């Protein structure tokens, strides 16, 4: 007992709070969302988020976000970002439906996996050899995939593509919940126990030191972006499964949503050793609870967007205040 008291007395609380400030703020935000939106909706509209239907809808909404955030953690660990997420998901999902209906699901899945790997190599090469910030390569991809996505819906009579195969088992609540848990474990293993994950964090911490220590920049970037692409493909399948179809605007806001979720979870934009899978999990849950809670409180969708923008701006200002660095590399 005396040794425990001694440890408490000698524990440097100031240093602990300084080292874990982002995580503590992120968890505090999640807890506040749980408390506030457990109280307000029943008072305002007599509805609760924690009914069986409410929990099911929350899981349904969180699944795609969670998978995208888990995959994006790999590239954010390097201090990179990708703002083409929404249009990539839209194109992957639409291609999967079209090709699956014509040639089978295996062919459709392999096609979008190959396309994802090609995008990964493109991002890696641009960042390593052309020396442009990776956000620029994602802008190129965003415009490219936006154009491709629009061509799928040039015919005014086509508002969505319907998959002939029933994916109701994928859209079930238990399947989604178990899938998120398994994918979070896989992402945690890749980030913390594989060369790609460790080197990605090393690049985010100090790119020059990582290169001198033997981290192969191109191979690491290809590996990290490839993992991200695989998670994008999986997220696309789950997006389709919700209605067994895909439309032009189903994933329009994903590119900024993913960034906001990671920042809300305590992810440093510069990446590095403080990158954690818990940032994706905490940020996703906070974002979804905030969105659903405000909706259940009958807040107008335009007001919800303004609130999200204010939160996003505040987080970016706080997390980017480093000497000489205002944006990720």
Residue-wise pLDDT tens digits, 226-250: 999 999 999 999 999 988 889 887 7
Q: How far apart are CA 112 and CA 229, in angstroms?
A: 9
Residue 6's pLDDT band (cuts 50, 70, 90): low
CB 278 within 8 A of CB 265: yes
Residue 24 pLDDT exceeds 70: yes
pLDDT score for 326: 42
Distance CA 20, CA 11 (A): 14
Q: Are 66 and 289 in contact (CB under 8 A)?
A: no
- Confidence at residue 11, expressed as pLDDT on a 0 to 100 scale: 61
Report the distance separating Cα 201 and Cα 209, nearest Å. 12
Higher pLDDT among residues 60 and 311, named by residue: 60
Does residue 48 surpass a pLDDT of 80?
A: yes
* pLDDT at residue 71, as a whole number: 93
Would you say residue 158 has pLDDT above 60?
yes
Average pLDDT, the chain: 84
Q: What residues pair up with 322 in beta bridges, in sequence order?
A: 325
Look at residue 70 in the predicted model and tell me its pLDDT.
95
Does position 2 have pLDDT exceeding 50, yes or no?
Answer: yes
State the pLDDT at residue 285.
Answer: 93
Confidence bin at 328 (pLDDT 50/70/90): very low
Coil, strand or helix at 132: coil
Percent of the chain with pLDDT over 90: 33
How far apart are alpha carbons 55 and 77 in whole angstroms?
Answer: 31
pLDDT tops 70 at residue 12: no
Question: What are the tens digits of pLDDT across the range 288-303?
Answer: 999 999 998 988 888 8
Q: Specify which residues 160 forms β-bridges with.
A: 247
The predicted structure's pLDDT at residue 176: 94
What is the predicted pLDDT for the residue at 250? 76
**Nearest-angstrom CA–CA distance, 144 and 168:** 31
pLDDT at residue 35, as a whole number: 93
Using the predicted structure, report yes or no on whether residue 274 has a pLDDT greater than 60: yes
> Which has the higher per-residue pLDDT, 7 or 305?
305
The region of weakest confidence among 108-122, 134-148, 164-178 is 134-148
pLDDT above 70 (res 152):
yes
pLDDT of residue 203: 86
* 89-99 pLDDT tens trace: 999 999 999 99
The per-residue pLDDT for 113 is 94
Please report, for residues 43, 69, 161, 232, 284, the alpha-carbon distance to residue 66 in angstroms, rounded to integers and kept in the order given.
29, 5, 24, 11, 6
At residue 40, does pLDDT exceed 50? yes
Report whether pLDDT(321) > 80. no
Beta carbons of 84 and 209 less than 8 angstroms apart = no
Residue 121 has which token pair? 């190599």
Spatial CB neighbours of 39, under 8 Å, sequence gap ≥ 6: none
Distance CA 216, CA 156 (A): 48
Q: Which helix (DSSP H) or strand (DSSP E) does residue 160 occupy?
A: strand 160-162
């Amino acid at each position: 007992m005396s040794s425990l008291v001694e440890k408490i007395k000698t524990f440097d609380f100031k240093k602990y709070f300084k080292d874990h400030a982002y995580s503590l703020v992120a968890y505090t935000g999640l807890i506040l969302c749980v408390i506030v939106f457990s109280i307000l909706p029943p008072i305002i509209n007599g509805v609760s988020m924690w009914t069986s239907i409410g929990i099911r809808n929350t899981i349904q909404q969180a699944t795609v976000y969670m998978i995208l955030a888990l995959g994006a953690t790999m590239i954010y660990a390097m201090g990179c970002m990708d703002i083409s997420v929404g249009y990539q998901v839209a194109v992957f999902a639409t291609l999967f439906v079209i090709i699956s209906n014509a040639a089978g699901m295996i062919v459709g899945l392999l096609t979008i996996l190959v396309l994802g790997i090609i995008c990964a190599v493109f991002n890696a090469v641009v960042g390593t050899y052309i020396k442009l910030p990776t956000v620029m390569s994602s802008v190129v991809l965003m415009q490219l995939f936006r154009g491709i996505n629009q061509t799928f819906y040039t015919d005014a009579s086509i508002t969505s593509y319907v998959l002939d195969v029933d994916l109701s088992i994928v859209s079930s609540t238990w399947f989604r919940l178990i899938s998120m848990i398994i994918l979070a474990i896989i992402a945690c293993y890749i980030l913390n126990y594989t060369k790609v994950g460790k080197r990605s964090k090393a690049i985010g911490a100090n790119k020059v030191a990582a290169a001198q220590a033997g981290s192969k920049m191109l191979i690491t970037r290809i590996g990290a972006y490839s993992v991200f692409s695989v998670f994008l493909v999986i997220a696309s399948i789950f997006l389709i499964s919700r209605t067994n179809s895909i439309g032009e605007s189903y994933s329009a806001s994903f590119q900024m949503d993913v960034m906001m979720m990671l920042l809300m979870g305590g992810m440093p934009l510069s990446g590095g050793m403080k990158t954690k899978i818990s940032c994706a999990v905490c940020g996703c849950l906070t974002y979804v609870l905030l969105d659903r809670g405000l909706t259940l409180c009958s807040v107008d969708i335009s007001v919800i967007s303004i609130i999200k923008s204010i939160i996003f701006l505040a987080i970016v200002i706080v997390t980017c205040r480093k000497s000489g660095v205002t944006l990720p590399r």
